[in-house]
Amino acid sequence: MNKLISITKKYGFKYLIIYTLFKLKVLKDDTRLLLLKQKYYKSLNQTEIEKSLCTWFYEHTGKKLDLNNVSTFNEKMQYLKLYDNSELKTVLADKYLAPKKVKEICGDKINIIPCLGVYSNAKEIDYSTLPEKFVLKCNHGSGMNIIVKNKEKLNKKIVAKKLNNWLKINYAYRNGAFEMQYKDIPPRIIAEEYIEEVDGNLHDYKIHCFNGEPKYIQVIGNRNFEKHTAFECFFDLNWNKMNFTYTYPIYKEDIKKPDNLSEMLEIAKNLSNNFKYVRVDLYLINSDIYFGELTFTAANGVDKWSPETADIEVGKLIKL
């Protein structure tokens, strides 16, 4: 009851009605809930945003946040969300514009996953022009991806509804996380070529860079996108396996050091030299380096470091 009273005060009586119908499974789509939350968070002034973010952080981690005294990695992610944004960061957070900018910076040292189409509405997608396998994604946030491995089995009506709902969301205000680098990105839908490694498991090489210097390579693989599971390992620049993880359980098997690791690190360095922190996500396809994305607030700053001391040690690398 206290929770219902709290959300009614915060988001309004209309939200309570829709929330109740959603919990009762009368409504299956939570877009209207997200939009009502978005309206509330967009109405806040800077002081209210700071207070709200501290509350959000406590709800997700069980830890208090003082934005005037941040020390851990996760705490500094919250600080960077609010106080370290720029036009360049917005461009590089845009999944449509970022590949063009990255190619401009890195040239032939990096490959870009081919773009098959750009749309302002799902109704514009001409599936007859797309191959059997492809990826649909929105450019203005995280996790808004649809992987299509068999076009003939695709329910285009359901996909169109999902994509158009995503387009309505300003990801900066989604659930009060305030990832402000996304705030001014014009929403688009992108169709990209589907890529995978020879063994069918695309490894994601996430190079964590601090004040323009790569420090750790986080390798993620064995993903199950439906169940949101995977395995990971952290390595230092000499490919020594670290004893900590951040998001997923640790790989038990060995992961081979990429033959062109030095080139990957050079790319990461070139892309990170304007930022206090950025994670440069790369893929290797037949030994060719492909750009994935640039992430400025890794895991929203609320995933759990294991052991917990890594949160402190890795946090020391971010110089505010």
Residue 246 has what pLDDT? 96
Q: Is the pLDDT score of 252 beyond 90?
A: no
Q: Give me the mean pLDDT over the 196-219 stretch.
A: 86
Per-residue pLDDT band for 253 (boundaries 50, 70, 90) equals confident
pLDDT of residue 205: 96
Instruction: Specify whether the CB–CB gap between 233 and 218 falls below 8 A.
Output: yes
Are 163 and 138 spatial neighbours (Cβ–Cβ below 8 Å)? yes
Q: Name the pLDDT band for 314 (thresholds 50, 70, 90).
A: very high
- Confidence band (pLDDT; 50, 70, 90) for 226? low
What is the crossing angle of helices 13-23 and 2-11, to 10°?
130
* pLDDT score of 200 more than 60: no
Q: CA-CA distance, 176 to 197, in Å (whole number)?
A: 36
Q: What percent of the chain has pLDDT over 70?
A: 97
The pLDDT of residue 302: 97
Q: What is the pLDDT of residues 93-104, one digit of tens each?
A: 999 999 999 999
pLDDT value of position 222: 83
Instruction: State the average pLDDT for the chain.
Output: 94
230 — pLDDT class (breaks 50, 70, 90): confident
* Percent of the chain predicted with pLDDT > 90: 82
Question: Which of helix, strand or coil describes residue 312?
Answer: helix
Q: Per-residue pLDDT for 244 more than 90?
A: yes
pLDDT at residue 298 is higher than 80? yes
Report phi then psi at 212, rounded to 5. 85, 10
Strands 115-119, 189-193: pairing is antiparallel
Whether residue 311 has pLDDT greater than 60? yes
What pTM does this model have?
0.92
The HSE-up count of residue 187 (CA atoms within 13 Å, CB side) is 18
CA angle 248, 212, 296 (to 5 degrees): 45
Render 73-108 in DSSP notation, one character per residue: HHHHHHHHHHH---HHHHHHH-TTTHHHHHHHHHGG
The per-residue pLDDT for 198 is 46
Average pLDDT over residues 258-274: 96
| Residue-level pLDDT at 38 | 96
pLDDT at 273 over 80: yes
Residues 6+ apart with CB under 8 A from 270: 105, 106
